[in-house]
């Protein structure tokens, strides 16, 4: 669109200069003829002068256009070689094109150096994450194992058993936190690649619900799912299911016993929308914009078990797939989280 406007502007400018040039030449010839009369020799000289000026002007214009076209072709070839990594010209001279090529070469070298530096840092982070995952897994497993073995001892007192239950609960919490942070780090550093494809979302929703249904049933929370089997979206089944699980887990956690959760999925021309609505405690307007931040927890839920990473991880998973999440809520009126997944 912009190149078409530039072309039309160039044509208009050329026509204006051509008109001015013709007016000046014809004005000079007419004035000279008027002042010197109708002398045949003078008229012939004037006509020859006008024709010569027109020819020189046409040649000059043609040369300028040719030079401009040559410069643009050379520039296009230079950029094309840079894009495809082919060798650049190295016989520099004092022309503007050579100076531009030299600067382009320097820019490419700097870009390559930065890319290599980033790749080195990325590999270092990958190794660090792998080390953390490996080094923390064994101690946590041992803590859980020893806690379970101690809990099976028959002569434990009530206080001791309570402390063991707390140790086991905190170990489970720590294991979940480390696992979530490792997943998040792998997503952010590109270690994990999501394989999105167009498929029905019902199976993904069912998978997420299967991991949360028992908790909801224990609290007496009813779950209603409305999703046409043919409703589809471009998404990664495994990771989208995890994002949905995080949202559903929050819905169950912050909904009082006897409440309800409603899940509705529907498609339009661009996105498939999945609404998760609950009858929970709700979120204040001043906190609504912060709930997707890492480790953020609202003032009214500080006493409820949680870390504040589930919503952040869910938004990260959805955004990597080209989607987004919105939230609407009122204190005491429940919360509605909407996931938008692309159709194509």
Give the C-alpha distances (Å, rounded to integers) separating 74 from 64, 70, 175: 15, 6, 60
> What are the tens digits of pLDDT across the range 26-63?
776 677 666 666 667 666 766 777 777 778 777 877 88
Alpha-carbon distance of 303 to 291, in angstroms, equals: 16
| Residue 224 C-beta-side C-alpha neighbours within 13 Å | 10
pLDDT tier, 92 (very low <50, low <70, confident <90, very high otherwise): very low
Percent of the chain with pLDDT over 90: 25
Please tell me which residue, 234 or 41, carries the higher pLDDT value: 234
Please tell me which residue, 139 or 6, carries the higher pLDDT value: 139
Give the C-alpha distances (Å, rounded to integers) separating 173 from 76, 141, 163, 313: 58, 12, 15, 16
Tokens standing for residue 180? 């979530």
List, in order, residues 6 or more apart from 321 with CB less than 8 Å away. Answer: 194, 196, 234, 235, 236, 239, 240, 341, 342
> Which pLDDT score is estimated for 13?
66
Q: Which residues of the chain does CATH 3.30.565.10 include?
A: 197-342
Note the helical H segments in 189-224. 202-210, 213-218
Q: Kindly write down the DSSP assignment for every residue of 81-134, as one continuous string.
A: HHHTTPPPP----SSHHHHHHHHHHHHHHHHHHHHHHHHHHHHHHHHHHHHHHH
Query: CATH 2.60.40.10: does it fit domain 197-342?
Result: no
List, in order, residues 6 or more apart from 338 with CB less than 8 Å away. Answer: 273, 274, 275, 276, 325, 326, 327, 328
Alpha-carbon distance of 18 to 24, in angstroms, equals: 10
What's the average model confidence in pLDDT over 110-115?
83
CA nearest to 246, candidates 212, 277, 274:
212
Eight-state DSSP code of residue 301: G
pLDDT tier, 145 (very low <50, low <70, confident <90, very high otherwise): confident
pLDDT at 337 over 90: yes
What's the average model confidence in pLDDT over 214-239?
92
Contact present, 221 and 259 (Cβ < 8 Å): yes
What's the average model confidence in pLDDT over 263-275?
92
pLDDT at 16 over 80: no
> Which pLDDT score is estimated for 136?
74
pLDDT tier, 197 (very low <50, low <70, confident <90, very high otherwise): very high
CA 234-193-237 angle, to 5 degrees, is 40
Q: How remote is the C-alpha of 158 from its chain's centroid? A: 53
Helix (H) or strand (E) holding 340, with range, is: strand 335-342
pLDDT at 90 over 60: no
pLDDT at 161 over 80: no
| Residue 209 C-beta-side C-alpha neighbours within 13 Å | 17
pLDDT at 89 over 60: no
Q: Is 194 left (phi over 0), alpha (psi -120 to 50) or beta?
A: beta
């Amino acid at each position: 669109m912009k190149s078409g406007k530039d072309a039309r502007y160039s044509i208009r400018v050329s026509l204006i200069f051509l008109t001015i040039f013709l007016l000046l030449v014809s004005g000079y010839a007419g004035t000279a003829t008027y002042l010197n009369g109708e002398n045949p020799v003078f008229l012939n000289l004037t006509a020859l002068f006008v024709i010569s000026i027109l020819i020189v002007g046409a040649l000059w214009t043609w040369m300028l256009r040719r030079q401009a076209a040559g410069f643009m072709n050379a520039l296009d070839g230079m950029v094309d070689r840079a894009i495809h990594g082919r060798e650049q010209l190295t016989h520099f001279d004092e022309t503007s094109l050579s100076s531009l090529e030299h600067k382009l070469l320097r820019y490419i070298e700097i870009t390559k150096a930065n890319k290599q530096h980033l790749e080195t840092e990325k590999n270092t982070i990958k190794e660090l994450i792998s080390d953390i995952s490996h080094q923390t897994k064994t101690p946590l497993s041992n803590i859980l194992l020893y806690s379970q073995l101690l809990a099976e001892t028959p002569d434990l007192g009530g206080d001791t058993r309570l402390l063991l239950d707390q140790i086991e609960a905190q170990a489970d919490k720590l294991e979940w936190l480390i696992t979530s942070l490792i997943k998040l780090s792998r997503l952010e550093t590109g270690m994990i690649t999501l394989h999105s494809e167009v498929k029905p979302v019902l199976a993904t929703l069912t998978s997420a619900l299967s991991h949360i249904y028992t908790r909801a049933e224990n609290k007496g929370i009813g779950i209603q799912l409305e999703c046409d089997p043919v409703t589809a979206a471009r998404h990664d089944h495994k990771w989208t299911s995890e994002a949905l699980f995080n949202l559903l887990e929050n819905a169950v956690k912050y909904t009082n016993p006897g409440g309800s959760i409603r899940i509705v999925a529907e498609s339009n021309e661009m996105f498939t929308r999945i609404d998760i609505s609950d009858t929970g405690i709700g979120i204040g307007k001043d906190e609504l914009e912060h709930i997707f931040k890492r480790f953020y927890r609202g003032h009214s839920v500080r006493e409820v078990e949680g870390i504040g990473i589930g919503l952040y991880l869910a938004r990260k998973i959805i955004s990597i797939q080209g989607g987004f999440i919105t939230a609407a809520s009122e204190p005491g009126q429940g919360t509605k989280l909407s996931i938008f997944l692309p159709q194509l």
